[in-house]
Amino acid sequence: QVQLVQSGAEVEKPGASVKVSCKASGYTFTSYYMHWVRQAPGHGLEWMGMINPSAGSTRYAENFQGRVTMTWDTSTSTVYVELSSLRSEDTAVYYCARVALGPFWHLDLWGRGTLVSVSS
Amino acid sequence: QSALTQPASVSGSPGQSITISCTGGNRDVATYNLVSWYQHHPGKAPKLMIYEVTKRPSGISNRFSGSKSGNTASLTISGLQAEDEADYYCCSYASSSSLVFGGGTKLTVL
């Protein structure tokens, strides 16, 4: 079954870091980019960045430069996003979503999301 | 990167058609035919409905269609059904290899 399975909800304190995972199955992991998108309560979707597991390259949105790190593990078909220096505004549902390698920029498969709550 | 502009809400009765607009600029919608639309039911994973302005993924009803004129893309849903009630987001490729989303539109089926 083609799917993206994300890790469970996290609760973190301000200033801490959080790492969310996204495990791909049912397709060739290295044939797709993986993007991360988040949705804060009452807000729309916000693009965070992307990783190319085949080339090992990443591209981060300007708003997250310096605070976000995206990594991958080909052996387990898993990608990770780590966000540091957390603040209350980072409370959101974090989604992973794939895009086929090539001149494509549509997210054709999404995970169900991981809620990250930042609170003292 | 500024978000694309969508109306906050639209509504329609079953069987009617509605259109959701998505306005961007020269760095995104106006320059690239890489606009996609996503349906999002709260608590569920977003779902791709339209990509590359007008294309429908396999399994998506032909009641959903997309178009673009200048810096504004549009999603039209015809023959509205109760199950179409959801949030809809547009998304565009933007210069420097990035994506930008719209603020989202809540569709209410009356």
- Single-letter code of the amino acid located at B42: P
Q: Do A110 and B91 touch (CB under 8 A)?
A: no
Q: Do B38 and A107 touch (CB under 8 A)?
A: yes
- pLDDT, one tens digit per residue, over B60-92 is 999 999 999 999 999 999 999 999 999 999 999
Q: Do B99 and A108 touch (CB under 8 A)?
A: no
Q: Which residue in chain A has the smallest CA separation from B103?
A: A44
B34, B93 Cβ separation under 8 angstroms:
yes
Contacts of B96 (CB under 8 A, 6+ apart): none
Separation CA B66–CA B54 (nearest Å): 5
Map residue B23 onto helix, strand or coil: strand
The confidence score (pLDDT) of residue A101 equals 87
Separation CA B63–CA B25 (nearest Å): 27
> Which residues in chain A are closer than 8 Å to B98, comparing Cβ atoms?
47, 59, 61
- Selecting from B48, B99, B103 the residue whose C-beta is nearest the C-beta of A44 gives B103
- pLDDT band of residue B1 (cuts 50, 70, 90) is low
Min Cα distance A64 → chain B (Å) is 12
Does A41 have pLDDT greater than 80? yes
Q: Do A107 and B48 touch (CB under 8 A)?
A: yes
Chain A interface test: which of B58, B97, B99 (most A C-beta within 10 Å)? B99
- pLDDT, one tens digit per residue, over A52-77 is 998 889 999 999 999 999 999 999 99
Min Cα distance B77 → chain A (Å) is 19
Q: Do B101 and A47 touch (CB under 8 A)?
A: yes
> Which residues in chain B are closer than 8 Å to A3, comparing Cβ atoms?
none
Please give the radius of gyration of chain A, using alpha carbons only, rounded to the nearest integer: 14
Separation CA B42–CA B91 (nearest Å): 18
